[in-house]
Chain A
């Protein structure tokens, strides 16, 4: 897949962010900060790294993207629509009655959604199980999995890490959205996770810390993950929650809130 030019990527990430703002404002509820923070990670993954075919979403040769932090699904939906999995206008049905865009993703309802993510910790296990069975079959598909940093407070995540290391899942790439916020406040105050990199290393992971909003850093990290042949990889991606909208950036209160119509207009102006 071709590498996007700098200007092209910048425009694309702005466009995805505009979609996120518009869909959340129309929905009237949802999670803004995490979705906005992961845009570069998703855009580069779907445009430059992931082997996938929107016309054949169930192609057995595809790579898999499992979204464990299902509450940040607006970024997944916007990315899938942008890649042609379904019409963009459907984004505005988010969280509405009868929509395929559920508040938390529902596997099987919308093309490109591989997992019903919602109860935290389940997606990471789902991804690890998939990667283990692919590896046993000697298949070359990769499994990418997005997980929130607050989500890592769930014990199930650490069960999954143990299993991934045991099964030597070099085909498994875990992306931690390290934005340091969760509903009740800073992750540092709610339940201390650091030193996360040392914990992951101790669990047997090829561990890469990066700036999750910096395209060069992201590309380098994905490349390094794909070169790893023995261990699973974790990308600890430091992201700015609410990235791109000045009044949302690094604000805990935007974790689980959608913009009002006025706020959305202001945000869209900034994203022009």
Chain B
């Protein structure tokens, strides 16, 4: 998306803010509270919006109504709300059964359980039968924070993107989560929506249009491509500003649909920049970095560096503390960018 004036999206996002009531986001800076939002609140708004026009939309949860922001839906549409109890396996297969009665079920829990614990049910009850079920995995990634490694899904993209018929979406902020929920509701077929727990900057606005399977170019650049998804996208945008200071022009892509993967936009960007860094709040094995490695090795073999969790579990701590500790940080992206520029035979200035 081209900005009308010459200020880029990243510049606007990280423009110095002064005044009181600023909240620090570790690794990103100080921001007015109003410029931050919950990704899962976008889901809560989106499902209510979709349900108003489509009476077949129903929601299920496994004892996590408020955490998944379903409180309003449950109040507005009590007859279409199902509390399944702590039974994620039954919940998902039951949702698949509801599609025989033309329902469009949204099945919610934490990503470690849904699609973690109920992956077999996702594979057979939902995907094999191509049932029109939407799987909402909350508290995905390190942003889950103090609950620790048991509750931080770092493998969910890997286990979902290998399933036939399934679409995998990772929204970067509240607005994208809202739009992705509406898009998932309108789409006929199973969709997995991955939601982080932490607050994120409002990157997108209502003027941006989310489309399943389409990558949005947020920053135009010519030296290097940085491709990111979800909570990690903020760091990619910040890194593009840091790189600019060093005279490197970075193109930043928001890859919110992991499957189907928008090869066309990526290959177009790479044809220009000839090197790429992937950034994700997930294992680098099996996630966005892997999708990219698979695509490039077959279609356009070019140097790639992957930023993400490298074959380890998380731990307790604040979400943004953990992101920094496990390497999903501006500094680490800049480091990876320099490395990949070098590998591509380009000069990293300064």
- List the interface of chain A (C-beta within 8 A of B): 60, 64, 66, 106-108, 114-116, 118-119, 121-134, 136-137, 139, 155-156, 159-160, 162-163, 166-167
Stretch at the interface among B77-85, B142-150, B230-238, B293-301: B77-85
Does B187 belong to the interface (CB within 8 Å)? no
Q: Are B129 and A115 in contact (CB under 8 A)?
A: yes
Taken together as a complex, chains A and B put the C-alpha atoms of A137 and B95 apart, in Å, by: 15
A160: contacting residue among B94, B103, B130, CB under 8 A: B94
Q: Are B85 and A129 in contact (CB under 8 A)?
A: no
Q: Please, which residue of chain B has its CB at the minimum distance from the CB of A104?
A: B124
Query: Chain A residues near B97 (CB, 8 Å)?
Result: 66, 115, 125-131, 133
A118-B124, A122-B121 known; A129 vs B98 contact (CB < 8 Å): yes
Does B87 belong to the interface (CB within 8 Å)? yes
A156: contacting residue among B58, B79, B93, CB under 8 A: B93
Q: Please, which residue of chain B has its CB at the minimum distance from the CB of A167?
A: B82
Q: Are A156 and B90 in contact (CB under 8 A)?
A: yes
Q: Please, which residue of chain B has its CB at the minimum distance from the CB of A155?
A: B89
Q: Are B100 and A128 in contact (CB under 8 A)?
A: no
Query: Chain A residues near B102 (CB, 8 Å)?
Result: 60
Most-contacted residue by chain B among A60, A115, A123, A131 (CB, 10 A): A115
A-B contact pairs, 9 of them (CB 8 A): A60-B102, A108-B130, A119-B124, A122-B124, A126-B97, A129-B94, A130-B101, A133-B103, A166-B85
Q: Are B89 and A129 in contact (CB under 8 A)?
A: no
How many residues does chain B have at the interface if contact means C-beta atoms less than 8 Å apart?
29
A129-B98, A134-B101 known; A159 vs B89 contact (CB < 8 Å): yes
Taken together as a complex, chains A and B put the C-alpha atoms of A246 and B125 apart, in Å, by: 36
Q: Please, which residue of chain A has its CB at the minimum distance from the CB of B121?
A: A122
Shortest beta-carbon distance from B95 to chain A in Å: 6
B98: contacting residue among A106, A124, A132, CB under 8 A: A132
Q: Please, which residue of chain A has its CB at the minimum distance from the CB of B89?
A: A156
Shortest beta-carbon distance from B63 to chain A in Å: 12
Q: A126-B93, A129-B96, A162-B85 are in contact. List 10 more A-B contacts (CB 8 A).
A: A118-B124, A122-B121, A124-B93, A130-B97, A133-B98, A133-B101, A156-B87, A162-B87, A166-B85, A167-B82
Question: Which chain B residues numbered 94 to 112 have a C-beta less than 8 Å away from chain A?
Answer: 94-98, 100-103, 105
A125: contacting residue among B100, B125, B128, CB under 8 A: B125
Taken together as a complex, chains A and B put the C-alpha atoms of A156 and B118 apart, in Å, by: 10
- List the interface of chain B (C-beta within 8 A of A): 58, 79-80, 82, 84-85, 87, 89-98, 100-103, 105, 120-121, 124-125, 128-130
Shortest beta-carbon distance from B68 to chain A in Å: 18
Taken together as a complex, chains A and B put the C-alpha atoms of A129 and B129 apart, in Å, by: 15
Query: Chain B residues near A134 (CB, 8 Å)?
Result: 101
Taken together as a complex, chains A and B put the C-alpha atoms of A128 and B125 apart, in Å, by: 13
Q: Are B94 and A132 in contact (CB under 8 A)?
A: yes
Taken together as a complex, chains A and B put the C-alpha atoms of A33 and B85 apart, in Å, by: 36
Nearest 10 pairs of A and B residues by beta carbon: A129-B94, A125-B93, A129-B97, A159-B90, A130-B97, A159-B87, A126-B97, A133-B98, A107-B129, A125-B90
Query: Chain B residues near A115 (CB, 8 Å)?
Result: 97, 129
Taken together as a complex, chains A and B put the C-alpha atoms of A125 and B121 apart, in Å, by: 10
Taken together as a complex, chains A and B put the C-alpha atoms of A163 and B92 apart, in Å, by: 12
Q: Are B124 and A163 in contact (CB under 8 A)?
A: no
Taken together as a complex, chains A and B put the C-alpha atoms of A163 and B97 apart, in Å, by: 13
Q: Are A128 and B90 in contact (CB under 8 A)?
A: yes
Q: Are B98 and A121 in contact (CB under 8 A)?
A: no
Q: Please, which residue of chain A has its CB at the minimum distance from the CB of B88?
A: A159
Q: Are B100 and A114 in contact (CB under 8 A)?
A: yes
Query: Chain A residues near B121 (CB, 8 Å)?
Result: 119, 122, 125, 156
A136-B80, A162-B87, A163-B84 known; A129 vs B93 contact (CB < 8 Å): yes
Taken together as a complex, chains A and B put the C-alpha atoms of A115 and B131 apart, in Å, by: 10
A64: contacting residue among B58, B100, B124, CB under 8 A: B100
Q: Are A125 and B80 in contact (CB under 8 A)?
A: no
Shortest beta-carbon distance from A247 to chain B in Å: 34
Query: Chain B residues near A121 (CB, 8 Å)?
Result: 89, 93
Taken together as a complex, chains A and B put the C-alpha atoms of A156 and B117 apart, in Å, by: 12
Q: Are B58 and A125 in contact (CB under 8 A)?
A: no
Taken together as a complex, chains A and B put the C-alpha atoms of A119 and B127 apart, in Å, by: 13
A136: contacting residue among B79, B87, B93, B94, CB under 8 A: B79
Shortest beta-carbon distance from B232 to chain A in Å: 34
Q: Are B89 and A139 in contact (CB under 8 A)?
A: no
Q: Please, which residue of chain B has its CB at the minimum distance from the CB of A134?
A: B101
B85: contacting residue among A64, A108, A132, A163, CB under 8 A: A163
B129: contacting residue among A116, A125, A159, A160, CB under 8 A: A116
Query: Chain A residues near B93 (CB, 8 Å)?
Result: 121-126, 129, 156, 160
Shortest beta-carbon distance from B96 to chain A in Å: 5
Q: Are A132 and B129 in contact (CB under 8 A)?
A: no
Query: Chain B residues near A125 (CB, 8 Å)?
Result: 89-94, 97, 121, 125
Taken together as a complex, chains A and B put the C-alpha atoms of A162 and B28 apart, in Å, by: 47
A121-B89, A162-B87, A163-B87 known; A126 vs B96 contact (CB < 8 Å): yes
